[in-house]
A and B are shown apart, each in its own frame.
Chain A
Amino acid sequence: EAGVAQSPRYKIIEKRQSVAFWCNPISGHATLYWYQQILGQGPKLLIQFQNNGVVDDSQLPKDRFSAERLKGVDSTLKIQPAKLEDSAVYLCASSLASTIQYFGAGTRLSVL
């Protein structure tokens, strides 16, 4: 069974530029999560989707971050414009009905 796929693995941009990350969850997983992991910290939930609807986006900085999950499968997370403090690893996870979340390898973003 294929795991959670994320791309790109690494991205370097300058501040004020825009960037997008892509996630393909495990087939059949209705719930998809985006986490931000800043160096030295644990992952923090940014947004959670159930199929193509948003369940929780309370910690998403909506002035610059946006996410969508068209057709309830793939998802894209966008940052526009990026700030230095957005440098982090962005992790995507998916889950079925159980409590277990399966994580992708992440996208490491460096904002210069």
Chain B
Amino acid sequence: AQSVTQLGSHVSVSEGALVLLRCNYSSSVPPYLFWYVQYPNQGLQLLLKYTSAATLVKGINGFEAEFKKSETSFHLTKPSAHMSDAAEYFCAVSGTGGGNKLTFGTGTQLKVEL
């Protein structure tokens, strides 16, 4: 069984500040890990993915995440927040086997303030 836990349902940062969204996973097999972003009234858009290659993964819009097996974490970061980053962010896990079933966390709403 696989699961992810996102710490903090709401995160607020100032524009230009560091963004850190936390995700911890649980998986009985080597995981694939994902971060998706969801803007209001839109579907989910893939930010980045980890599929057992480099542990530091760079995604779109300046986001990156680091896979840390020892901490079972896959936290999402961005050095400098922009107003346009305000959205809901979901961490998800799938197994490396067939099927690609995604199990999502409960999401973190990011608010960016002036």
Interface of A toward B, CB cutoff 8 Å? 4, 31, 33, 40-45, 48, 55-56, 91, 93, 95, 99-106, 108
Contact = CB atoms under 8 A, between A and B. Distances in A.
B90 A43 contact: yes
- A-B pairs, top 4 by smallest CB distance, nearest first, are A42-B104, A103-B43, A103-B44, A105-B43
A91 B43 contact: yes
B42 interface: yes
B32 A42 contact: no
Contacts of A56: 99, 101
B102 interface: yes
Interface of A is mostly: strand
A31 B100 contact: yes
- Of listed A40, A45, A99, A104, residue having the most chain B CB within 10 A: A99
B70 interface: no
A101 B43 contact: no
B29 interface: no
Interface residues of B, number: 23
B78 interface: no
Nearest to A42: B104
Contacts of A108: 41
A45 B99 CA distance: 12
Nearest to B9: A40
B24 interface: no
Given A40-B106, A41-B106, A41-B107, A104 B43 contact: yes
B104 A44 contact: yes
B104 A101 contact: no
Residue picked from A40, A42, A103, most chain B C-beta under 10 Å:
A42
Interface stretch (B11-19, B45-53, B61-69, B79-87): B45-53
Interface in B12-60: 32, 36, 41-46, 49, 51
A4 B45 CA distance: 12
